[in-house]
């Protein structure tokens, strides 16, 4: 019985294969780093933006903000939870309520006056107001209501809360688009490179694999070793990519705000999902060359090996 230190276990065989071609392993790890990092960042940004949008809408509560003409831009910060500069309370709330009722605006659930005389987020008022908040029924269409409100109150303009919030988050679209495209390209690169590197490794080790097969190594063992040599660098690179992406995405101020809408558990889930996808595509790409290696005729592999 040979000593334990001389036993050729699958783990030692995989380790020896990685040491034999360090640059190849480094290239595979680099592609996995890019793929996992880009995919993880895309998931965080897309989910965070959606959550931030809903949070801002919930914070305001009202679907429509009705203000005198020329004041729409001034109240836009309310849509993102920010404070506004002081505005005059020149809206007769009672009169505007009457006009809305006479105009038969469909779907209004509640009407509130908002005083912004002191700026900030304002306070609800029943007298003179700076703006009027319209709370709509779930079935009501804000777009139809906008037309009806402007027809009922010609001197007013309407800010749709959802549209305003979306316009604020639109500045993240180029970043998200870039990260999403990068994730797709990196995943495709991981597939192609994993298959190519595994095929090269099998071709270079034809004699060695043939001898192992002739000495009794099973086909499943050869497949496991071959896929393991592709998966280990992908695992290391993928973990590094998650760490780098998680740190980088916190740098921009708004991106950091988006991450506050996600729990630690959700971030971990996204990270595990991104890493699992990278490992899956790597394993699938390496499976073809691995199966070809396992099906080689041992004697033919030894004769034709380098």
CA–CA distance, 18 with 171 (Å, rounded to integer) = 44
Residue 18 pLDDT greater than 80, yes or no: no
**In the chain, where are the structural domains located?**
10-53+172-304, 60-169
Residue 3 pLDDT greater than 70, yes or no: no
* Torsion-angle region of 113 (φ positive above 0: left; ψ -120 to 50: alpha; else: beta): beta
Looking at the DSSP bridge assignments, the partners of residue 129 are 91
Per-residue pLDDT at 205: 74
Share of the chain above pLDDT 70, in %: 85
Higher pLDDT, 156 or 79: 156
Per-residue pLDDT at 88: 92
- Of the given ranges (40-49, 90-99, 209-218, 219-228), which has the lowest mean pLDDT? 209-218
Task: Please state, as a whole number, how many other Cβ atoms lie within 10 Å of the Cβ of residue 245.
Answer: 25
108-115 β-sheet, strand order: 123-125, 108-115, 131-136, 64-68, 156-160
Per-residue pLDDT at 54: 67
Residue 136 pLDDT greater than 60, yes or no: yes
CA–CA distance, 46 with 42 (Å, rounded to integer) = 6
Per-residue pLDDT at 1: 41
CA–CA distance, 25 with 52 (Å, rounded to integer) = 40
Mean per-residue pLDDT for 81-91? 87
Instruction: For the chain, give the longest Cα–Cα distance.
Output: 99
CA–CA distance, 207 with 55 (Å, rounded to integer) = 62
Question: 220-275, pLDDT tens digit by residue?
Answer: 888 888 888 888 999 999 999 999 988 877 766 556 666 777 888 888 999 999 99
Please work out, in degrees rounded to the nearest 5, the angle formed at the alpha carbon of residue 237 by the alpha carbons of 28 and 269: 130
Candidates 184, 189, 219, 249; CA nearest to 29 is: 189
Average pLDDT value over all residues in the chain: 81
CA–CA distance, 275 with 262 (Å, rounded to integer) = 18
Q: What is the DSSP string of 279-294?
A: HHHHHHHHHHHHHHHH
Q: Which fold has domain 60-169?
A: Gyrase A; domain 2 (3.30.1360)
Task: Please state, as a whole number, how many other Cβ atoms lie within 10 Å of the Cβ of residue 13.
Answer: 20
- Of the given ranges (65-74, 138-147, 178-187), which has the lowest mean pLDDT? 178-187
Question: 90-130, pLDDT tens digit by residue?
Answer: 999 999 999 999 988 888 999 999 999 998 888 899 889 99
Task: Please report, for residues 23, 158, 183, 190, 236, the alpha-carbon distance to residue 28 in angstroms, rounded to integers and kept in the order given.
Answer: 9, 55, 16, 7, 10
Cβ-contact 82, 60 below 8 angstroms? no
CA–CA distance, 80 with 253 (Å, rounded to integer) = 14
Indicate the pairing of strand 123-125 with strand 64-68: unpaired
- Of the given ranges (54-58, 132-136, 237-241), which has the lowest mean pLDDT? 54-58
Single pTM value for the model: 0.65
Residue keyed to tokens 């192609």: 192
């Amino acid at each position: 019985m040979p000593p334990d230190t001389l036993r050729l276990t699958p783990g030692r065989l995989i380790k020896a294969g990685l040491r034999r071609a360090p640059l190849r392993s480094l290239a595979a790890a680099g592609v996995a780093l890019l793929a996992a990092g880009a995919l993880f960042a895309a998931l965080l940004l897309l989910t965070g933006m959606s959550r931030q949008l809903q949070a801002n809408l919930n914070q305001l509560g009202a679907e429509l903000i009705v203000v005198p003409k020329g004041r729409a831009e001034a109240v836009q910060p309310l849509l993102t939870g920010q404070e506004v500069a002081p505005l005059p309370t020149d809206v007769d709330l009672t009169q505007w309520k009457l006009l809305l009722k006479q105009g038969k605006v469909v779907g209004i659930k509640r009407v509130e006056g908002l005083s912004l005389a002191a700026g900030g987020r304002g306070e609800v008022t029943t007298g003179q107001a700076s703006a009027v908040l319209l709370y709509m029924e779930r079935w009501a269409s804000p777009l139809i209501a906008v037309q009806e409100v402007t027809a009922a109150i010609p001197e007013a303009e309407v800010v749709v809360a959802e549209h305003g919030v979306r316009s604020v988050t639109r500045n993240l679209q180029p970043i998200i688009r870039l990260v999403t495209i990068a994730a797709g390209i990196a995943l495709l690169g991981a597939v192609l490179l994993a298959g190519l590197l595994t095929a090269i490794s099998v071709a270079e080790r034809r004699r060695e694999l043939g001898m192992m097969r002739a000495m009794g190594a099973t086909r499943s063992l050869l497949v496991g070793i071959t896929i393991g040599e592709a998966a280990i660098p992908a695992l290391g690179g993928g973990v590094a990519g998650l760490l780098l992406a998680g740190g980088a995405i916190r740098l921009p101020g708004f991106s950091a705000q988006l991450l506050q809408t996600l729990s630690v558990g959700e971030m971990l889930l996204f990270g595990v999902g991104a890493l699992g996808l990278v490992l899956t595509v790597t394993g699938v790409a390496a499976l073809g060359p691995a199966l070809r290696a396992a099906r080689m005729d041992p004697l033919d592999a030894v004769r034709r090996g380098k």
